[in-house]
Amino acid sequence: MPSTDNQLPFSPLRSFGRSLFRREHAHAIEPAKVQESDLERFQILVTNKFRILATIDLDDLLSVAWMQNLLDVFVECLEEFRLLLLKNKTLVSKPPVDRFVIEFYERTVKALDICNATRDGIERIRTWKKHLEIVLSALSSHQRAIGEAQFRRARKALMDMELAMLDEKETGSAFSRRNKSFGRHNSSKDNHRRLPGHARSLSWSVSHSWSAAKQLQSIASNLVAPRGSDIIATNGLAVPIFTMSSVLMFVLWALVAAIPCQDRGLNIHISVPRQYAWATSILSLHERILEESRKRDRRNSNGLLKEIYLMERCSRQLTDLADLAHFPLSEEQRVEVVQAVVDLTLVCDVFKSRLDPLERQVREVFRKIMYCQTEGQGFVGSTSNG
């Protein structure tokens, strides 16, 4: 992969020319300045990380492993962004930068609910895995012969799993109903532009009436690239804020696409000007995931996670075999059963080894967002209270 060190992807700021940038600040009252190298470094980080994510083969896109990589990238980008704001907290705490920062934090508050919904979705997958284990136990190759009794047991487990999936599609998950919702967002804004409230807990589930589609729509609302005047007025900080907001939006959208979630709606328009060097990779991934969701056998899926697709496909195949099978099984039917069992075993192995680490990563994303908010409240709110 070619190096981007000399490509200087920070084109939205550079398009105005260094002379204009410096001339504007020659007469500025605020002496604080943002190091252009810091701005460029953040853009290069996001560009390189998403370029690597975008090189994934179609077969592995939205696999559990790829989702783990995506969350790793998000945490790394958020940490670099947090340090950038901290380094320039004098500017961040004053207009007009504080307005852009507060809008970012308002989006992260809504992101916390999606983290909790994702955790619920992982718990649902664990429930499905238990049904799959019964199927594998019944149809295991260790059996001397697969007879009608084994098929009957496997078919019951498959039907129980299918009913659980249908119930979650139509009425919402039992995991979502068992706990209270987070309560109302703090939507009021005073003249001091305080940071939004962040009373969230990863031990709580989202409410029964909560909608992932509406939450994503709310996060995407008014997410537009900064104008040239905004870039100049904020010493260029409007650009990394927009960049991190776009990364947040895409990662949350991908989580909702992949993991079972209440009211999964993926028709969210992600608009990023292509002069941002990272835009090509994010827009490409967005389009590829949308294409997957439009495929006939994926339209009604509980989630676009690769392993969920394999589980649903093998389950349908075994259910059809159970309905049509005559005992003893023909050689062709026996081969089909063995192959389906092999595929389901691979899926179960992935769930067994990777679901817990995936959930820990979601928790880490939640904690990192909370920490970023708390730290930001310290220096964004400092001048408003003074």
From first to last of its 386 residues, what are the pLDDT tens digits of the chain? 444 444 444 456 555 444 334 444 444 444 568 999 999 999 999 999 999 999 999 999 999 999 999 999 999 999 999 999 999 999 999 999 999 999 999 999 999 999 999 999 999 999 999 999 999 999 886 656 778 888 889 999 999 999 988 876 664 443 333 333 333 334 444 444 445 544 455 555 677 788 999 999 999 999 999 999 999 999 999 999 999 999 999 999 999 999 999 888 888 888 899 999 999 999 999 999 999 999 988 888 899 999 999 999 999 988 888 888 788 888 888 888 889 999 999 999 999 999 999 999 999 999 999 999 999 888 776 544 44
Q: How far is CA 47 from CA 9, 10, 250, 259, 276, in A?
A: 8, 10, 14, 25, 9
Q: What residue type is 240 in one-letter code? A: P
Instruction: Tell me the C-alpha distance between 62 and 56, whole Å.
Output: 9
Tokens 């500017």 identify what position? 91
Say if CB 237 and CB 88 are below 8 A apart. yes
- Whether 100 contacts 380, CB under 8 Å: no
Q: How far is CA 134 from CA 154, 181, 303, 314, 363, in A?
A: 7, 34, 22, 14, 29
Scan for tokens 């994926």, then name that residue: 298
- Radius of gyration in angstroms for the set of CA atoms belonging to the chain, rounded to a whole number: 24
SS3 113: helix
